[in-house]
Structure 1
Amino acid sequence: MRQWAILLAIAASGCSQEHRAGEKTEPVAAPVPRRILASVRAVGLDGTPVPGIMPIATTDPNAFDEPFAKGQLTGPDGRSAITIEPGRHTYVRGWDPALRKFANNYVELLPVSGNAIEEMVLVMVSGAALEAALLTPDGVPAANVEVRLMMVHPAEGPWWPATAVTDADGLVRFGAVPAGNFAIRLVADDIGEIEFAEVMLPPNGTVQLGRIVLDQAGEDETLVE
């Protein structure tokens, strides 16, 4: 019965439109989504305010989506605001344009019908660095090649991509990456790749993976002492 009612309504509408075929119709404007200015506060792990952080809103919590909303940089008190659509599933996190600090959390906002959102606290942590000396499968330094890094979060999946270029000795350094526990994958196109199941990157620290022989098939890592 429900399907019939829908079909009859469509048929009646079609007849009505045919009857008024010579009349002009005004275009119907799409409804403008409601927007709310939501307060945010950026802090460190110890709760102290973090200035210079931009609140951003994306459809996923990782670093791949282009933000569809951005707020002003946080001031000395760590506070700012961001305009969001309350009817849209949104993830809000902090972004440091200088890549000195990285988001340690995100706030997930489910679609709501209200007009107020409580202040969101965005926790920021100092970044880390990752270094390695890459060798080709033949044991020759992988010199002057672009290397792609993929960091995989244990719960959230692919999390942070980055690129860097090796020097003449095959040394590569990723100087600004999130701190934390990640699976790591390094790929040098046309040469090889390597994966590490677990790498702990401490805040303000540098992890040296040592000399690594890239494997064309992407098998388990091989280290050269």
Structure 2
Amino acid sequence: MASKRESSSVFTVILALGANVLVAIAKTIAAALTGSASMVAEAAHSWADSGNEIFLLQAERSAARPRDSAHPGGYGRESYVWSLFAAVGLFTAGAVVSIMHGVSELGSNEREADYAIAYGVLAVSFVFEGVSFLQSYRQAHKLASERGTSTVEHILSTSNPTLRAVFAEDSAALIGLVIAFAGILLHQLTGQAVFDALGSILVGVLL
């Protein structure tokens, strides 16, 4: 049973990593073409998530190592260390960059963005992130059903930090896409680039 759960967690992380890399590339291109502050923040967010998934894969590999004389209780605690690295990476590479870029763009005359490109990339990103989120949700829901608890309760109390981290990252990614969409939309409707800059700041605050 344990090996099946470990395999499921690894698959969840690999799926999230693949989705994040594809989304990060698309967002980076869109940010370069549109000059949107919100798109820059979202690109930074996705690249940070991609790096974090590598830490989480290492967490799963470390936790799965067999017991030995030096670690009679196993290596499970190492997963918490790697998950901590992932959390710190998300904050420093995602939140700080997003907030600083947004603040720097508050008083600037940001050029009119190519809204079609921005909306298209955000829509595709939402699909990819949604697939990754559904995978982590299904895994959490299955384990919660086995324990007779709710999915949210299981995520908050689980001893699997990787599952909790992936679920939190995917949830934040979806909310961040909505924030970026709102910032770009308000920029388009009002002609005021400050909304796009605020979108970047809010994405950083979310992280």
TM-score range, shorter chain: under 0.3
The structure whose residues are more often strand, as a share, is: 1
Please give the TM-score of this superposition, normalised by the length of structure 1: 0.21
Please give the TM-score of this superposition, normalised by the length of structure 2: 0.22
| Greater length-normalized contact order (CA 8 Å, ≥ 6 residues apart) | 2
Larger radius of gyration: 1
